Structure 1
Amino acid sequence: MEGQARAPAAGTVLNALANQTGSAFAIDEYTTATVELDDSATVSGTVAEDPDADTRLVEACVEAVVERYGDGQGGSVRTESEVPMASGLKSSSAAANATIMATLDALGVADELSREDACRLGVDVARDVGVTVTGAFDDASASMLGGVTVTDNTADELLARDELDWDVLVYTPPERAYSADADVERCRNVTSMADLVAELALDGEFARAMTVNGLAFCAALGFSADPMVEVMDDVAGVSLSGTGPSFTAVGERETLERVHERWDARDGETWLTTTQTEGTQIL
């Protein structure tokens, strides 16, 4: 009983830490999960890029699907990712989505759960494991459904979804930032700005929304806004992604190639990609 799925990473339009409304867009970088089920009744996990990584999230995702649709199976789950961990690019959401769908595939029941409900199952597991503060339904929905989503993370409700055709530039500094460690109280100080970002996003002004979000949450989370300010006049939108440390910029490919040269002079890694509209896919 084997299943495999891949889920895209995502960038931030609106961080949900301030007002529990969030928005994110899928990008063409992936985490792949391979699940093998057996009669062992226990689940073990492996992260290809880091043998010492915490695997509780993906193990718990397998267990949650088996509890609902299986017959006490155990087995193994292995993830391989193009997405740097703890970088603000929704690696946890992508890993959960890929694992949920791969387990459903292994059990032969992938058609018995809607994409939105599969996403909610992964979010519930993430909350139980403690890898998220907000529940990350915004991040998870963008990764599961593709395109850009706007969500109410309190009710796990999808408020809007649209499809974007953006080129995307990603800059990831060498440091890491775990979303579960974010200062939620400090983020709530920018609630009025987050409310404005939510209005812009629901009006479809996603690029403007992400720029306002980036300025507000750089201040709230203690990141320098310099990477944003130095390119803001050249791109359609730019933001801190998640709780950092990555930044994403969107716009025309030719412009982003010039911006790439500026960001590439900084410590860390910079790469060009595109938005993704298909979401999580069984392989």
Structure 2
Amino acid sequence: MHGRAEAPAAGTVLNALATGVGSAFAIDAVTTVEVDLDDSGAFRGEVAGAPDADTALVERCAELAVAEYGQGGDRDGDEADVGGTVRTDSEVPMAAGLKSSSAAANATVLATLDALGVADDVDREDACRVGVRAARDAGVTVTGAFDDASASMLGGVTVTDNREDELLARDELDRDVLVWTPPERAYSADADVERCRRVAPVADLVADLALDGEFERAMTVNGFAFCAALGFPADPLVEALPDAAGVSLSGTGPSFVAIGERDALSEVREQWNEREGTTWLTTTQTDGTRRT
């Protein structure tokens, strides 16, 4: 049985490491996953162009999706015997702060549900939580990343309490997006959580701004706070202002994201292009994870 889905990347409004409350917005760059189920009893992950990539997360996503929803599908037999292949192909750079793990998890869960024949019967928030559980099991996240995962699954911009996996708010967000990704990589599981917690008063302010719908101001304040906490230079933020409506370090870095009008972001791009790495223009995404 075959399933296929794609999930968007996301950028940060509020990093959840300080208080457990986080916010993120979906970006129009996708990870595509195909799942083929069989009776092998185990899942095997493959990543296009990266034969040595760690596939524990997508394998765990498929396992949990089958365990949670396998009885509801039209496949005969015990879900304990279900296994298969999970093939991942992504436009989203890994370990760059653009929520590649959340995108891979969401796409895998939905593709597995598609293969089971139950994708239309499962609430998207619940499906998102399956991927979050898998991310915790696989050790790729500190907070559970429900903020990143919910933005990728639902589209638009979300605010969440990652301590309870609770969705506090979701809104549409129609903006152009500029992304700069330096060649370095940073893994969220390696972030200095205690140092991030020291900026909790600022994070509370950012959360209030986000819940009031002031996402651009929120992400800019977040950017300066978490550049300081995580040891990244704030120069890209200063270079983006005042042209960008909002700019931030994304996740635990190293990417930076700016949102605003395309003409204004083109001015920022000229400055960011002088930096080593990759700079690209895209848009926000409101559809979230979808079958393809």
Bin of the TM-score, shorter chain as denominator length: over 0.9
Which deviates more, 149-158 or 104-113?
Answer: 104-113
- 1:153-180 alpha-carbon deviations (Å, 9 max, x no partner): 0111100000011000000000000000
Pair 1:90-2:99 in alignment: yes
Pair 1:110-2:119 in alignment: yes
Q: 1:254 aligns with which of 263, 267, 282?
A: 263
Cα distance in 1 for partners of 2:224, 2:171 equals: 24
Cα distance in 2 for partners of 1:233, 1:109 equals: 47
The amino acid that maps onto 2:274 is A
The amino acid that maps onto 1:234 is D
Which residue of structure 2 lines up, in the alignment, with residue 75 of structure 1? 84
Which residue of structure 1 lines up, in the alignment, with residue 75 of structure 2? none
- 1:124-148 alpha-carbon deviations (Å, 9 max, x no partner): 1111111000000000000000000
Which residue of structure 1 lines up, in the alignment, with residue 74 of structure 2? none
CA shift for structure 1 position 112: 2.5
Q: Give the aligned length.
A: 283
Q: 1:101 aligns with which of 86, 110, 113?
A: 110
The amino acid that maps onto 2:6 is R
Which residue of structure 2 lines up, in the alignment, with residue 171 of structure 1? 180
- 1:83-108 alpha-carbon deviations (Å, 9 max, x no partner): 00000000000000000000000010
What root-mean-square deviation, in Å, do the aligned CA atoms of Structure 1 and Structure 2 show?
0.7
The amino acid that maps onto 1:217 is F
Give unmatched runs, 5+ long, in structure 1.
Answer: none
Cα distance in 2 for partners of 1:51, 1:198 equals: 40
Cα distance in 2 for partners of 1:149, 1:30 equals: 18
The amino acid that maps onto 1:40 is S
Which residue of structure 1 lines up, in the alignment, with residue 21 of structure 2? 21
Contact 1:170 1:246 in 2 (8 A): yes
Cα distance in 1 for partners of 2:21, 2:68 equals: 29
Cα distance in 2 for partners of 1:101, 1:24 equals: 20
Which aligned pairs between 1:134-149 and structure 2 lie closer than 5 A? 134-149=143-158
Which residue of structure 2 lines up, in the alignment, with residue 65 of structure 1? 65
CA shift for structure 1 position 19: 0.5
Cα distance in 2 for partners of 1:91, 1:74 equals: 24
> Which 4+ residue blocks in structure 1 deviate beyond 6 angstroms?
none
Cα distance in 1 for partners of 2:102, 2:182 equals: 20
Matched position secondary structure for 2:60: helix
CA shift for structure 1 position 259: 1.1
Contact 1:100 1:122 in 2 (8 A): yes
CA shift for structure 1 position 69: 2.6
CA shift for structure 1 position 272: 0.1
Matched position secondary structure for 1:121: helix
Pair 1:200-2:200 in alignment: no
Cα distance in 2 for partners of 1:246, 1:8 equals: 16
Cα distance in 2 for partners of 1:105, 1:158 equals: 24
Contact 1:49 1:81 in 2 (8 A): no
Cα distance in 1 for partners of 2:110, 2:48 equals: 19
- What TM-score does the superposition give when structure 1 sets the normalisation length? 0.99
Pair 1:220-2:229 in alignment: yes
Cα distance in 2 for partners of 1:69, 1:162 equals: 28
Q: 2:280 aligns with which of 267, 271, 274?
A: 271
The amino acid that maps onto 2:12 is T
Cα distance in 1 for partners of 2:123, 2:33 equals: 19
Matched position secondary structure for 1:230: helix
Pair 1:242-2:251 in alignment: yes
Cα distance in 2 for partners of 1:110, 1:161 equals: 22
Which aligned pairs between 1:31-46 and structure 2 lie closer than 5 A? 31-46=31-46
Which residue of structure 1 lines up, in the alignment, with residue 7 of structure 2? 7
Cα distance in 1 for partners of 2:173, 2:67 equals: 36
Cα distance in 1 for partners of 2:191, 2:283 equals: 28
Which deviates more, 243-252 or 61-70?
Answer: 61-70
The amino acid that maps onto 1:258 is E
State the percentage of identical aligned residues.
74
- 1:33-71 alpha-carbon deviations (Å, 9 max, x no partner): 000001111110011131111100000111111112332
Which residue of structure 1 lines up, in the alignment, with residue 132 of structure 2? 123
